[in-house]
Amino acid sequence: MIEPGAHLSVLVSQSDHVQGPGDALLTLVEYGDFECSYCGMAYPIIKNTQRLLDDRLRFVFRNFPLSTSHPHAQHAAEAAEAAGAQGKFWEMHDMLYEHQETLDDADLRRFAQQIGLDMVGFDRDMAEHRYQAKVREDFMGGVRSGVNGTPTFFINGTRYDGSWDEEDLVRALENAAP
């Protein structure tokens, strides 16, 4: 079910992490937390939805770390952004969701090595919290859009509050096509 009146306050832009064509008929934005078990359950559903809808879908991920509940979420988001600066956001995104139970700083560094990041740059970015502001920007955009938990989805700019099991999500996306 698409929630009337709940819209993205920050439009998709060049600063977002995007998979799929820019001119896709459908855009799915997720505000997610790498340590959130519900986001972890949604992760393979989103992957399958992307495969099913192929070039009709543009998927956007934005950070919404719930640090009070998930002590590793902020650093995991910063690690994903640091990987993104090296052109490997999606590799780190996938690694974090596939290893949600191990997200301490040593694990983040190991994941960075496994996906082939320049470790001097990664270590510097993490030590300096270089991407803390970007994560905060995503978070505040979510707050302005009415996000208060994760995962939260928007379909073509409108909040989707229905079930995010694969069948329902695909149906909602297809129904939103212009």
Secondary structure class of 147 (helix, strand, coil): coil
pLDDT in tens, 17-51: 999 999 999 999 999 999 999 999 999 999 999 99
CATH of domain 2-173: 3.40.30.10
Question: Positive or negative, the Cα torsion across 142, 146, 46, 105?
Answer: positive
Q: Which burial class, exposed, middle or buried, applies to 132 when counting CB atoms under 10 A from its CB (0-12, 13-18, 19+)?
A: middle
pLDDT in tens, 44-90: 999 999 999 999 999 999 999 999 999 999 999 999 999 999 999 99
Is residue 52 within 8 Å of residue 20, measured between CB atoms? no
| Distance (Å, whole) CA 45 – CA 126 | 30
Both tokens assigned to 119: 């470790």
Token pair 């543009």 is found at 58
Q: Domain-by-domain residue ranges, the chain?
A: 2-173
9 contacts: CB under 8 Å, gap ≥ 6:
141, 144, 145
pLDDT in tens, 112-168: 999 999 999 999 999 999 999 999 999 999 999 999 999 999 999 999 999 989 999
Secondary structure class of 140 (helix, strand, coil): helix
